[in-house]
Amino acid sequence: MVMPFYIAVFSLFLLLLSAQVIRCRRRAKIAVGHGDDVLLQRAIRAQANFTEYVPLSLLLLLCLEIQLGLAMSAVAIHCLAFVLLLSRILHAWGIRQVNEPLRFRFIGMVGTFSVILVSAVWLLVRYFMMA
């Protein structure tokens, strides 16, 4: 199985994003909310956006891996999970840049949405083919 590896990697990534929020909170001396601190606000959004999209994406990929079987799934799952990982890195980096013109965030979201779309459609096609 491939997904336990990616679930662990994404878990570490979430811890990194959480540590950045904590670091920004300490710097700004803000315990709750963002207090209009731009860097803290961006760190919070990077973490929150991650938690909004990654769990569903990983669940879809895990379901795909289970449905496809070991022979075919390893390559397909690695490709989709790598696109997701690269997309989330680009998005998190882009959202943290105050003067970034949305380029990295856009690429990150397109990649994330693509993984969700491909996985969901693939699962639905498999479901109706097996029914």
Q: What is the pLDDT of residues 56-94, one digit of tens each?
A: 999 999 999 998 876 567 899 999 999 999 999 999 999
Per-residue pLDDT, 100? 76
Placement of tokens 């540590």 in the chain: 19
Which stretches of 32-76 are assigned E, i.e. beta strand? none
Per-residue pLDDT, 70? 61
The residue ranges of the chain whose pLDDT is under 50 are none
* Nearest in space to 2 (alpha carbons), one of 67, 55, 85, 61: 61
Amino acid at 116: I
Per-residue pLDDT, 48? 97
Angle at 102 between CA 99 and CA 103, to 5 degrees: 115
pTM of the model: 0.91
The answer as to CATH 2.60.120.260 being correct for domain 3-130 is: no
Per-residue pLDDT, 69? 74
